Chain A
Amino acid sequence: MKTAAKRAPAKKSRAKKSPRNESPTTNKATARKTTKKAPPSRAKKRIGRRVVTDAVHGAIALTDHEWAVVDTPSFQRLRNLKQLQMAHLTYPNATHTRLAHSLGVFSVMSRVLEVAREAMGIEEADVADLRLAALLHDVGHYPYSHLMEKVDKVQLTEELVRDSGARKKQVDLSAHQPYPKHEPLGELIVTEREDLVRAIGGKSRARKIADLFTRSEAADPQRSKLIHSSLDMDRFDFLLRDAQATGVPYGTVDLHYLLSNVQVSPTGMIGFSYKAMSAAEQFLFARYFMYKVVYYHKTTFAFEEACRQLLRRCRDRGLFGVPAGGDGIRDWVLGNSFLNFTDAWVDQVVRQAALSNDPVIGELARGIVFRNPPKLIREVNELKDLTVARGASHCAAFLKRCEDRLSDLASSLGVDERLFLVAGPVSVQLEDRTSKLTRDSAQELEEEQREELVKIFERDAEEPVSLVDLPISITNVAANHAYQFARLYLVSDDQQVVARAREEVASW
């Protein structure tokens, strides 16, 4: 009912006003003068004064203060970052942005706070901080999001292949400090960029907001975990949004039902009521299938891996302005050109690299520019039983053979070994594996991580239990397994070479 009440004026506003979706409440003072008996309680109850219409959540109401944060150049940069990295090369409609996702997470957070604030003991004054933390949780994302962030996780083939007798390979952390993750980068942006600090209301509050979304607030970790906890607002939004944008049917989540069944225990643990167990299970399966089908799609993954390897190679050689290390990224974030740190910046690097004479850099880049993906030579996959201690993993064995044999294969095919892209092992699970670890060892260190698992209140129980621990739940069994894959790609246009490579590697 509340949502409907908020939506009505928003629609009027769109009819009358600018495309920025300004609501008539902006002119509330004028409206009051002309209306004799406006119900006074109505104005007091309103949470938002600005309304954004979102394809996933409908009307999202923001206060003027929140709107000022959204309106900063640092936040608007998110409009130029695609949420799904290079998925648009496979799913043409997957061009939605981090900005839309951030507003979506903000919307879910607002609804959760409406439902659970009192029970969680969250003060009214803290609600605004939590809403802002949700809004800003992704403000530190890199161009193409996780793609560039994970540049340090790249396995370059020449580093991978065995080369006994050669001198030791070096990890030079002094020359190439790893790129920071997007959370600490977001913290830097929120606490140091003037536009955001001003819009948030000063350094001290900006620090508080950053501590919330980086889960660094020691005084009240429970609050800090709201964004990423078992009530995973981040995932609720991205599953729904990504499923809608890609057109695949797997990401559907019964969000309304789940949110209307939120419960809070006397100790502040959040979970869902027993009757929402199926909806909660479906959420976990939706996530599992979205990873398996969309996020790790073989063609999308190929483009992303090619781009990641390209950026890593450019970074190592100081080409095309790719920052050499973490300090370079931090300097950039605090400097004037930060607003250009968008997907378009990476596109420009790729276009420049496509003109390169370097046989590897040029090939990788041209493949991306002309949408000619690296060819999958072989994928090894398996469903791993996590209850079995260290066993023979097909993926690990395949990767070991790649290490041992890729150089010879490249020589026999007459290709540069660096054009082989080796990836994996990558795991997809219903819940984080550490949950299994914790269940076995019940240790305190991981105990808090268990709070991030989806929880269910059994009938009459005061405290919830993790869904994976409920014997009646299918996830109790399924969470003991992980889908794992390793892939070998080759950047080549030569169909014969690709066919020969596939033939050779088939037995590895």
Chain B
Amino acid sequence: MNRKQVSALLVLKELGIGHRMGTFTDRLKVQKSVYLAQAAGVDIGHHFNWYLRGPYAPGLTQDVFDAIENEDVDSILDEWELDAASKRKLTALKKSFRPPKDLEEPQWLELLASAHFLVARDQVAKPDAPTLTEQLRKYRKNFTRSQVGAALTKLRKLRLIGSPAH
């Protein structure tokens, strides 16, 4: 297993996501949580494109698949650990993964990651809840304005995006 794969597995472990890839939901959680980890400064070198469900890195899916197919992942994870600074960042990020009452965790992660991608890349006219909600709707993501507002607040609290004034 190469270092990039080890890094991905360690990040997923720290975030409490794990490395199950059997279902669509598993893979969505892996994708969005690693995207958010990279946005939070724990960069493991994946490049995310925009897909139907938001940011997506095909190489990440491949890496995790290859790792679990060819290796005893648990014993690898026992041998390796992340540096303390990265762990701290991930611990802070993990708290934001708890979804609002009206959303499941995978959808919440999808919303957080998609909102960050669009705002950070200046692909939304105004980084506020009404504008972003409308834009997400165009991309077939039917989140409510309050859910989008909660995501923006969370991203700002984590300092992953700037304040509305900027």
Contacts and interface: CB of A to CB of B under 8 A. Distances in A.
Interface of A: 152-155, 159, 168-175, 177-181, 183-184, 207, 211, 214-219, 221, 224, 326, 390, 393, 395-396, 399, 425, 427, 432-434, 437, 441, 443-449
B103 interface: no
B56 A180 contact: no
Interface string B26-46: 011001000000000011111
Given A155-B2, A159-B3, A180-B47, A171 B27 contact: no
Given A155-B2, A396-B69, A441-B24, 8 more contacts: A169-B80, A170-B80, A171-B6, A173-B86, A441-B23, A445-B27, A445-B56, A447-B52
B139 A171 contact: no
Contacts of A219: 123, 138
Given A444-B52, A445-B27, A173 B43 contact: yes
17 contacts: A152-B45, A168-B79, A170-B80, A170-B81, A171-B3, A171-B81, A172-B83, A173-B86, A179-B45, A183-B47, A390-B69, A441-B23, A441-B24, A444-B24, A445-B28, A446-B61, A448-B52
Contact of A224 (B50, B69, B117): B50
B2 A154 contact: yes
Interface string B1-26: 11110110010000000000001100
B45 A178 contact: yes
Nearest to A164: B79
B158 interface: no
Given A152-B45, A393-B69, A433-B62, A449 B51 contact: yes
Nearest to B37: A173
Contacts of B46: 181
A177 B43 contact: yes
B3 A168 contact: no
A443 B24 contact: yes
A492 to B, nearest CB: 23
Given A181-B45, A207-B122, A425-B66, A174 B86 contact: yes
B137 to A, nearest CB: 12
A214 to B, nearest CB: 7
A434 B62 contact: yes
Given A219-B123, A445-B31, A178 B1 contact: no
A235 to B, nearest CB: 15
Contact of B7 (A178, A207, A448): A178
Interface string B118-133: 1001110000000000
A216 B52 CA distance: 11
Interface in B144-158: none
B53 interface: yes
- CB-CB nearest 5 A-B residue pairs: A178-B45, A443-B24, A215-B49, A396-B70, A174-B85
B65 interface: yes
Contacts of A447: 52
Given A153-B3, A154-B3, A448 B80 contact: no
Given A216-B50, A425-B66, A449-B58, A155 B3 contact: yes
A399 B2 CA distance: 12
Interface string B45-89: 111111111001011011001100111000000111111011000
Contacts of B71: 396
A179 B31 CA distance: 19
A397 B126 CA distance: 54
Contacts of B66: 425, 427
* Most chain B CB inside 10 Å of its own CB: which residue of A169, A174, A184: A174
Contacts of A434: 58, 61-62
A441 B21 CA distance: 12
A444 B107 CA distance: 13
Nearest to A426: B66
Given A433-B65, A449-B58, A171 B82 contact: yes
Interface string B91-120: 000000000000000000000000001100
